[in-house]
Amino acid sequence: MPVSLKHPDPALHLRGVAEDQLARAPKGQADVRPTTELLHELQVHQIELQMQNETLREAQFALEESRDRFVDFYEFAPVGYLTITDKGAIAGINLTGAAMLGVERSKLLQLRFASFVTPDTESLWYSHLAIMLKHEGKLNCELSLRRNAGLPLHVRLDSLRLDKKNQAPTVRVVLTDITQRKRAEQQLADMMAGLEQQVSERTQQLRMVSEQLIRTEERERRMLAQDLHDNLIQLLFVIKIKLGQLDPDASYSSVDHIIELVAQTEHAARTTMQQLSLPVLETLGLTPALGWLADQLENTHHLTVHFDSEGEPKPLNDEMQTFLFRAARELLINVARHAKSSDTNLSCLWEESRLVIVVGDDGVGFDATNFLSAPPNPIHFGLRSIYERMINIGGEIEIDSSPGNGTTTVLSVPYSILADRVQLS
Amino acid sequence: MIRIMLADDHAMLREALRVILEQDKSMKVVAEVGDGETALNRADEMLPDVVVMDIAMPGLSGIETTRRLIAKHPNIRVLALSTYLDRSIILQMLEAGALGYIVKSAAATELKQGIRRVVEKHIYLCTEVAALISDTLRETQMQSRKPAKRNLSGRELQVAALLAEGKTAPEIAAQINISAGTVNVHRRNLMNKLGVHNVVELTRYAIRTGLILS
């Protein structure tokens, strides 16, 4: 029979119930012991009950205290605790968690957790939940939560699945605010990007300055050579012709001497002019000039160079022509000095869309894989500057070399660049 | 009377040349021009016997001017008069149709003689030019006698073997870690060196020399 605790006096009520039971008990079994003995027994029993009651009250008090402590731990923990159903709904959440979501707790229950996740990280959440429901064990992921006001909150989820018999599994989630860390990471990344940007801008500036310097230098050289050719040398010719026309009977024996001096001066000026500019290059163009260069190396460096060319030459501007010629010369001089080559070739290939210049040798070679990162080596200084310049003008360079296998350097420049520059200059 | 046109962008030099030439009663300077285009126009007009032609002129070079002039007027003789003493330039100028070549430093002594020779359809080269050309001929002769033995570099041997095995340029490029363009450069060079023209010939060579196993 159920006992209602709602009765105004529970003790009185219990007594009534007990007396009822006693009245209904069969009379024959009535205790026949003397009343005093029964009274004593009842008193002992009462004391026992009182003691038991006391112990129970203490236990209950301890339990309440413990429960309060755990509620405290749960509700006010520095992290959010969530229980999520297998349908992705919030089944339970602590106060910290509710504060993180920015919604009152009572309104959160049964809402889908996904509705708090920012669209860009939503798919992360779905896959996280799916994995949790399929597999045992712990899992974590990082998401952003949208909130009514302010910036989204970056959180880390540490999840654990809970299985109960005959019930759908649930997922326990610890929610940690990592916004600070994210912000710091972002700042760091921004700073890095800024620095890299600065470095690349500076490098670009330096490249442009160096490109400008090289161009200026080459323009100056050409102007000087032009000047020597147009003025000084022609004037010397004129002087020489005029001196030669003086009356031979005038007995100026020194005139011959003067003519000789002028001839020497003219020779010196002409040599200077040829060093400054390359008449072959400017008069005949790149292909014949490279052929000439191959011949020259036999005389100047005792290097036999097999020259060949293919295709129809396209217009090149002076700067590009001079650069490619000097690059080929530099590469061949490197071969002569260091390669110990027995077979050297120079090719000038006017391909469909680009000009390719190849310098190849069968000499000692070097390790080209890390020549760019290696500390500057005087042997490779020229090569390095050719490399830099090729990159600057938008061409390509490949150096195929390894110890014992010879070196092949391929320079290629698209005509589009050459054409652009021709129009620019 | 030999009718002469002077083509040189330097006016004072033309003046000096004119004085020398006109000391000779058999020569007359009928025109003086400072660039190639004008030279072609004035030649049409004056039809000189000889054009004394500079090479480095603004605009059209002396070489190109000569080529066009001879194409139009095969009877006009061109005598090159240049600062340059350089084999390839001399050869190009002669190829363009000039009959003579004199360096300017020899103008005072050799110009008149040169003009007389080319008028008679002879070739005339001044002393320095003649020396340079004969050196060239001697070298060419010596080179043609030398057998052209060519050596393949280690890399070229490697590429040759892979090509003979039937690999394509992109496959080889991936295998030895260089660009396909450079593989093609190697292929071209090694075929030039071996004097073979296709992969079949190359494969034959590779088997013959033991580069690959047949």
Those of residues 271-290 in A touching chain B at CB distance below 8 A are 273, 279-280, 282-284, 288-289
Q: Coil, strand, or helix at residue B49?
A: coil
In whole angstroms, what is the distance from residue A103 CA to residue A83 CA? 16
Kindly give, in sequence order, each residue whose CB lies less than 8 Å from that of residue A282, ignoring residues fewer than 6 positions away.
A222, A318, B56
- Kindly state whether residue B123 falls inside one of the protein's structural domains: yes
Do B136 and B176 have their domain in common? no
Q: Do B104 and A280 touch (CB under 8 A)?
A: no
Interface test with A, best of B153, B176, B185 (most A CBs within 10 A): B153
Nearest chain A CA: its distance from B59 CA (Å): 11
Predicted confidence pLDDT, tens digits, chain B (214 residues): 999 999 999 888 898 899 889 989 999 999 999 999 999 999 999 999 999 999 988 889 999 999 999 999 999 999 999 988 888 899 999 999 999 999 998 888 899 999 999 999 999 999 999 998 888 888 777 766 655 677 888 888 889 888 888 888 899 999 988 898 899 999 999 888 888 888 888 888 888 887 776 5
Nearest chain A CA: its distance from B150 CA (Å): 6
Q: Do B181 and A238 touch (CB under 8 A)?
A: no
In whole angstroms, what is the distance from residue B155 CA to residue A343 CA? 13
All residues of chain A having their beta carbon less than 8 Å from the beta carbon of residue B105 are: 237, 240, 263, 266-267
In whole angstroms, what is the distance from residue A395 CA to residue A324 CA? 11
- Kindly state whether residue B8 falls inside one of the protein's structural domains: yes
Q: Write the single-letter amino acid at A345.
A: N
Superfamily of domain A80-177: PAS domain (3.30.450.20)
Q: Do B87 and A229 touch (CB under 8 A)?
A: no
Do B162 and B112 have their domain in common? no
Q: Around Cβ A359, how many Cβ atoms within 10 Å?
A: 24
In whole angstroms, what is the distance from residue A102 CA to residue A96 CA? 10
Nearest chain B CA: its distance from A376 CA (Å): 23
Q: Do A279 and B56 touch (CB under 8 A)?
A: yes
Quote the Cα angle for A131-A136-A141, to 5°: 45
Q: What is the CATH number of the domain that holds B58?
A: 3.40.50.2300
Q: Do B105 and A266 touch (CB under 8 A)?
A: yes
Do B192 and B120 have their domain in common? no
Question: H or E stretch including A176?
Answer: strand A170-177
Instruction: Name which of B26, B22, B32 is nearest B52 in CA terms.
Output: B32
All residues of chain A having their beta carbon less than 8 Å from the beta carbon of residue B95 are: none
Domain boundaries, chain A: 80-177, 180-277, 279-424
Q: Which residue has the tokens 């102007």?
A: A223
Q: Let me know: does A180 contact A157? Beta carbons within 8 Å.
A: no
Nearest chain B CA: its distance from A386 CA (Å): 18
All residues of chain A having their beta carbon less than 8 Å from the beta carbon of residue B96 are: none
Kindly give, in sequence order, each residue whose CB lies less than 8 Å from that of residue A390, ignoring residues fewer than 6 positions away.
A327, A396, A397, A411, A413
Interface test with A, best of B83, B162, B187 (most A CBs within 10 A): B83
- Kindly state whether residue B149 falls inside one of the protein's structural domains: no
Tokens of A263: 């001839």
**What pLDDT score was predicted for residue A424?**
38
Do B113 and B187 have their domain in common? no
Q: Let me know: does B106 contact B82? Beta carbons within 8 Å.
A: no
Q: Where are the alpha helices (DSSP H) in A245-338?
A: 253-276, 279-284, 286-301, 318-334
B104 touches chain A (CB under 8 A): yes
- Kindly state whether residue B19 falls inside one of the protein's structural domains: yes
CATH of A279-424 among 3.30.70.270, 3.30.1600.10, 3.30.565.10, 2.60.40.1930: 3.30.565.10
Interface test with A, best of B21, B185, B191, B194 (most A CBs within 10 A): B185
B203 touches chain A (CB under 8 A): no
**What pLDDT score was predicted for residue B44?**
95
DSSP-assigned letter for residue B145: H
Question: H or E stretch including A169?
Answer: none
A285: closest chain B residue by CA: B89
- Kindly state whether residue B182 falls inside one of the protein's structural domains: yes
Burial of B161 (0-12, 13-18, 19+ CB in 10 A): middle
A354 touches chain B (CB under 8 A): no
Task: Give the number of domains in chain B.
Answer: 2
Those of residues 144-173 in B touching chain A at CB distance below 8 A are 150-156, 158
The beta-carbon neighbor of A404 closest among B12, B88, B154 is B154
Those of residues 2-31 in B touching chain A at CB distance below 8 A are 9-10, 12-13, 15-17, 19-20, 23
In whole angstroms, what is the distance from residue A178 CA to residue A205 CA? 40
- Kindly state whether residue B7 falls inside one of the protein's structural domains: yes
Kindly give, in sequence order, each residue whose CB lies less than 8 Å from that of residue A274, ignoring residues fewer than 6 positions away.
none
The beta-carbon neighbor of B108 closest among A240, A282, A349 is A240
The beta-carbon neighbor of A308 closest among B12, B107, B192 is B192
Predicted confidence pLDDT, tens digits, chain A (425 residues): 444 445 667 677 878 887 888 788 766 555 667 788 889 989 989 999 999 999 999 999 999 999 998 888 888 888 999 999 989 999 999 999 998 888 888 888 889 999 999 999 999 999 999 998 888 888 999 999 988 777 888 999 999 998 888 888 899 999 999 988 988 999 999 999 999 999 988 888 888 888 778 877 887 888 888 878 877 888 888 888 878 777 766 656 667 777 888 888 888 788 777 777 788 888 888 998 999 899 888 888 889 999 999 998 888 888 888 889 989 999 999 899 888 988 899 999 999 889 999 999 999 988 887 776 666 666 677 788 888 888 888 899 999 998 988 999 999 999 888 765 544 33
Q: Do A408 and B9 touch (CB under 8 A)?
A: no
Nearest chain A CA: its distance from B57 CA (Å): 10
All residues of chain B having their beta carbon less than 8 Å from the beta carbon of residue A401 are: 155
B55 touches chain A (CB under 8 A): yes
Do B81 and B176 have their domain in common? no
In whole angstroms, what is the distance from residue A400 CA to residue A383 CA? 13
From B117, B142, B167, the end of a domain falls on B142
Q: Print the domain residue range for B68.
A: 2-142
Sign of CA dihedral A111, A113, A115, A116: positive
The beta-carbon neighbor of B153 closest among A267, A270, A405 is A405
Backbone angles phi, psi at A175, to 5 degrees: -110, 115
Do B41 and B97 have their domain in common? yes
Q: Do A283 and B192 touch (CB under 8 A)?
A: no
A245: closest chain B residue by CA: B20
- Kindly state whether residue B147 falls inside one of the protein's structural domains: no
The beta-carbon neighbor of B189 closest among A240, A289, A345 is A345
Q: What is the CATH number of the domain that holds B171?
A: 1.10.10.10
Q: Do B92 and A229 touch (CB under 8 A)?
A: no
* pLDDT tens, residue by residue, A404-416: 889 999 999 998 8
Sign of CA dihedral A109, A114, A115, A121: positive
All residues of chain A having their beta carbon less than 8 Å from the beta carbon of residue B186 are: 360, 400, 408
- Kindly state whether residue B193 falls inside one of the protein's structural domains: yes
The beta-carbon neighbor of B83 closest among A233, A356, A363 is A233
**What pLDDT score was predicted for residue A29?**
56
